[in-house]
Structure 1
């Protein structure tokens, strides 16, 4: 609200101000969406890599020690 009031009291034409506000809000919206998707994909790739490594390790140890040594 402080930022909105500061922008509102800036001496500029109202149409220009509305356009800049719209562009700014749209940019921040798309920026937030992009960063959220980017972090989600990054965490998903990290988790899939960790799970793949864990399953490979379990299969590898089972293959070495035999199926009777399940832990």
Structure 2
């Protein structure tokens, strides 16, 4: 494929510049490799809200 050849061509209809931009964006997104999901870690703020006892929330309100 030479540098002068288009990557795709419209064979029917007359798309607007916005429609072509949307098409190019969709093609680019579909051809990129999927990113690996990042591992989810519990934030310090979320961990601070959890009771430290082994009984969890059930025993959190009980006197020690």
Band the TM-score falls in, shorter-chain normalisation: 0.3 to 0.5
> Which is richer in helix?
1
Question: Could you state the TM-score of these two structures normalised by the residue count of structure 2?
Answer: 0.33
Question: Could you state the TM-score of these two structures normalised by the residue count of structure 1?
Answer: 0.30
